[in-house]
Amino acid sequence: MKYLLHFRKKIISIGLHFAMLIVSVIALLPFLWMLSASFMSTGEASSFPPRFIPQHFTFDQYLFLFQRMNLGRAFTNSLILAVSVTVVSLIVNSLAGFAFSKFSFRGKRPIFVFLLSSMIIPGQVTMLPVFLLLNKLGLLNTYFGIIFPGMASIFAIFLINQYLKGIPDSLIEAARIDGASNFSIYWRIIVPLAKPVLVTLALFTFMGTWNDFLWPLIVMTKEEMYTLPVALNNLLGEHALDPELMMAGSVITIMPVLIVFMFLQRYYIQGILIGGVKE
């Protein structure tokens, strides 16, 4: 009997591993094909059955993208935007989170409730007026057209506020008695203590800005200002019949977020869970 139970467990375990393996293959196969097709010479990926190993391994597609299609410029734009939105929004949101969590002031509660309840408004509602505003200010096709609207996030303020509430006020009181200014309290106490939540937010903001499509598509209409996703979509317009080239472009677009994620995986998963538990 005991042996039989053990045997049953073994079968279930094998079945489970097999099922998970299949799901993993489905999850990864598109990436494998993308990567191998990107190293194929033109025309090679259009074959039946689909090929997963390049016959003539070549960097031609990548060279073409960087030398002729100016994808390096789009890469630089994406990088500049993702980094600056991340840095600026972290500062702006953490200052606000600091104010909400460690100060009492008139209107605090109503402002906070108002902010939270407006999180329900879908971002698409603001697209048209913000576009008109940026047009008036001459900020279309500039980095500011993406940085300004991305500077503040209600969700980020909320997360930082929640986190800072857990930090005892006595630390701040002690610093104040030592004569520390509010700004030095922010910089020397709040920011270092809030590091875990700030790293998580930084990761989400970086990846979110890098991956964003709709807003850059609207704001950046000149080719030299395209971000990678917009440039990739544009490339598809001219080179839809060159899968090898398009796959190389996809690899370039995906690689940076993948690398950042590999290093900071732990923080990303934490972020999902905070968002998941809190909402």
Residues within window 202-241 making contact with other proteins, judged by CB under 8 A:
207, 210-211, 213-214, 218, 228-230, 232-233, 236
CA separation for the pair 4, 6 (Å, rounded): 5
In terms of CB distance, is 45 or 197 closer to other proteins? Answer: 45
Check binding of 98 to other proteins (CB under 8 A).
yes
In the complex, least distance from residue 158 CB atom to other proteins, rounded to whole angstroms: 11
DSSP characters for 30-59?
Answer: HHHHHHHHTTSPTTTTS-SSPPSS-SS---
Check binding of 277 to other proteins (CB under 8 A).
yes
18, 19, 27, 170 from 15: Cα distances, Å:
5, 6, 18, 55
Candidates 26, 178, 179, 222; binder of other proteins (CB under 8 A) is 26
In terms of CB distance, is 113 or 273 closer to other proteins? Answer: 273
Contacts of other proteins in 169-208 (CB under 8 A) = 169, 172-173, 176, 182, 186, 207
In the complex, least distance from residue 228 CB atom to other proteins, rounded to whole angstroms: 7
Contact region with other proteins (CB under 8 A), list: 53-61, 64-72, 118-126, 193-201 = 118-126
Asked if 94 and 189 count as a contact pair (C-beta separation under 8 A), the reply is no
For residue 218, give the nearest of 96, 128, 136, 122 by alpha carbon: 128
Asked if 36 and 19 count as a contact pair (C-beta separation under 8 A), the reply is no
What the block records as the tokens of 89 is 């929004």
Burial 138-150 (b: 16+ CB within 10 A, else e): ebbebbebbbbbb
Asked if 264 and 81 count as a contact pair (C-beta separation under 8 A), the reply is no
Check binding of 105 to other proteins (CB under 8 A).
yes
Contacts of other proteins in 29-58 (CB under 8 A) = 29-31, 33-34, 37, 45-50
Check binding of 154 to other proteins (CB under 8 A).
yes
In the complex, least distance from residue 3 CB atom to other proteins, rounded to whole angstroms: 17
**Pattern of binders to other proteins over 239-268, x per CB under 8 A?**
----x--xx-xx--xx--xx--x---x--x
Q: CA 10, 13, 19, 22 torsion: positive or negative?
A: negative
Check binding of 157 to other proteins (CB under 8 A).
yes
In the complex, least distance from residue 213 CB atom to other proteins, rounded to whole angstroms: 5
Q: From the CA atom positions of the chain, what is the Rg in Å?
A: 24
Contact region with other proteins (CB under 8 A), list: 27-35, 61-69, 79-87, 191-199 = 27-35
